[in-house]
């Protein structure tokens, strides 16, 4: 699947923290715990004042893409509905990798537990 940066950037306006929490709580079972964990890592990178603004700002579009109900492959499509979201999030994770430290990982895991309970952590790869 070829997803170019311009297509992803147009989704930045869809990003909001409330929208992200709604999407996560409504789609975790379909999207999978690993994807939600990566989304949360990007969220915490974007919130970290120690991360350069350019990197933080670059996280908004992929998070907006994840939130958006309108994307390349509709999220309601069986089996493949989140493959485009996963590809976009994976690209953003690669971009932000140097800034994802143990604190970011801990915050993401803590938020997963808050939403879904401790059992969710056994599903992470």
pLDDT tens figures, 43-92: 999 999 999 999 998 999 899 888 876 655 554 554 456 788 888 899 99
E-strand ranges in the chain read none
Predicted local confidence at residue 3, as pLDDT? 44
Predicted local confidence at residue 78, as pLDDT? 46
1 pLDDT band, cuts 50/70/90, is: very low
Query: pLDDT averaged over the chain?
Result: 81
Note if the pTM is more than 0.85.
no
> How much of the chain is in helix, strand and coil states, percent to nearest 5?
70, 0, 30
Angle between helices 17-31 and 102-116 (to 10 degrees): 70
Q: Is 78 left (phi over 0), alpha (psi -120 to 50) or beta?
A: beta
DSSP 123: G
- Return the higher-pLDDT residue of 53 and 17: 53
26's CB contacts (< 8 A; 6+ apart) are none
């Amino acid at each position: 699947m070829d997803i170019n940066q311009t297509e992803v950037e147009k989704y930045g306006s869809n990003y909001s923290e409330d929208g992200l929490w709604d999407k996560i709580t409504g789609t975790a079972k379909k999207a999978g715990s690993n994807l939600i964990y990566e989304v949360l890592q990007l969220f915490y990178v974007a919130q970290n004042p120690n991360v350069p603004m350019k990197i933080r700002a670059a996280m908004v579009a992929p998070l907006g893409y994840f939130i958006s109900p309108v994307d390349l492959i509709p999220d309601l499509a069986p089996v493949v509905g989140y493959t485009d979201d996963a590809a976009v999030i994976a690209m953003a994770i690669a971009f932000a990798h140097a800034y994802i430290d143990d604190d970011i990982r801990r915050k993401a895991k803590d938020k997963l537990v808050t939403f879904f309970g401790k059992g969710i952590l056994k599903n992470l790869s």
